[in-house]
Amino acid sequence: MPENSPGAVIVISSHVVRGSVGNRAAVFALETLGHQVWALPTLVLPWHPGHGPSTRLRFADDDFEKAIDDLIKAPWLGEVKAILTGYFASPAQPAAVARLVEAARTKNPDLLYVCDPVMGDLGGLYIPEETAAAVRDSLIPLASVATPNRYELQWLVGSTLDSNSLIMEAALSLGPARMLVTSAVPMMTGGTGNLLLTGRNALLAEHRLIDNAPNGLGDLLGAVFLARLLEGCEEERALQLATASVFEILARTAKRGADELALASDASSLSRPMALVQMRRLLHPAQRPRKPL
């Protein structure tokens, strides 16, 4: 990689023709914040399934793996400084991507890998359990940062998480050095929160809850948080900026009554968010006094 090159980010997730979810949201955010992006779709759809049935354009597993092999052998792999993954369309895809993460790390040991385990919400899993298990087993152990929502984390650890203390214990048990858990338990009335747990900090970023939010917020948050880390922000500042950007775009979308995030119209909210976010420091599990035996 040439000296002073900004490097590249590989983004691997679903692609929609209409809308701002999956790769459409993540790539736009990263490019707006100044990062070169290589984008690989895992699935192509006319629109998000929440808008109604549509044709799913799938890739044969062999073809997807061959594309991953091409990236692994690419002479430019050393340019890659981060990888972000989201929705997967088959159990074979996460294992293939794990090979890419490992190969990229041989070229760049400081590679950041952000795993957004897009698999479910309050209603449970919305992908096949075998695909969710493949993400858990192949990719979560490789992640520098994992960004599940609370319900995805519940599935990953196999227990109900109805407090931030339980969320933090679950995050620590899962393994990645940084865990950013969305839909955390709010401490402010009428709010929602993003909880970041690292080896030394437990941080909660809260904002007002907006009902009937459009899809794509998790994809957007993971991408903006990654972008802020890549530009050298401290963890607390990266969490604050990413949360403020996503909340501001959500609030503007709700005010318009739109059914999709309008990222092009709201690009300034990515680079210079003005929304206020309540930041709290929580007691890290490692700092709690041990009970006597």
Q: What is the CATH number of the domain that holds 222?
A: 3.40.1190.20
Note whether 122 and 140 are within 8 A (CB). Answer: no
Residue 3 belongs to a domain: no
Mean pLDDT computed over 24-33: 96
Q: Residue 205 sits in which domain range?
A: 8-287
The verdict on residue 75 lying in a domain is yes
Our CA angle for 231, 237, 243, nearest 5°, is 100
Q: Is residue 158 part of a domain?
A: yes
9/2 Cα distance (integer angstroms): 16
- Mean confidence (pLDDT) of the chain: 93
Express as a percent the part of the chain with pLDDT over 90: 80
Would you state the pLDDT for residue 51?
Answer: 82
Residue 2 — very low, low, confident or very high, per pLDDT cuts 50/70/90?
very low
In whole angstroms, give the CA distance from residue 226 to residue 95: 22
pLDDT of residue 261: 87
Kindly report which listed range (50-54, 61-65, 71-75, 102-106) carries the lowest average pLDDT score.
Answer: 50-54
Are 136 and 152 in contact, with CB atoms under 8 Å apart?
no
- pLDDT cut 70: percent of the chain above it: 96
Query: 97: left (phi > 0), else alpha (psi -120 to 50), else beta?
Result: alpha
What's the domain count of the chain? 1
In a domain, 103, yes or no: yes
206-261 pLDDT tens trace: 999 988 787 889 999 999 999 999 999 999 999 999 999 999 999 998 888 888 88
**DSSP code at position 126:** S
- Indicate the pLDDT class of residue 1, thresholds 50, 70 and 90: very low
Residue 221 covered by a domain: yes
Segment 40-65 mean pLDDT: 92
pLDDT at residue 26 in the model: 96
Contact assessment for residue 47 and residue 16, using Cβ atoms and an 8 Å cutoff: yes
The model's pLDDT over 75-92, given as tens digits with 9 standing for 90+, comes to 999 999 999 999 999 999
Confidence of residue 30 (pLDDT cuts 50, 70, 90): very high
Q: Does some domain include residue 252?
A: yes
* Cross-strand pairs, 40: 12
Cα–Cα distance measured from residue 87 to residue 94, given in angstroms and rounded to the nearest whole number = 10
Assess if residue 15 is contained within a domain. yes
The pLDDT, as a whole number, for residue 293 is: 55
Residue 137: the pLDDT is: 97
**What region, left, alpha or beta, does residue 70 occupy, with left being phi > 0 and alpha being psi -120 to 50 degrees?**
alpha
Structure tokens at 96: 């293939």
Using a 10 angstrom Cβ sphere, with 0-12 exposed, 13-18 middle and 19 or more buried, the burial of residue 233 is: middle
202 three-state secondary structure: strand
Task: Give the integer Cα–Cα distance in Å for 80 and 24.
Answer: 20
Q: Tell me the mean pLDDT in the region 94-110.
A: 98
Is the four-CA dihedral 172, 177, 183, 187 of positive or negative sign?
Answer: positive
Q: Tens digit of pLDDT for each residue in 165-187?
A: 999 999 999 989 999 999 999 99
Does the residue 76 lie in any domain? yes
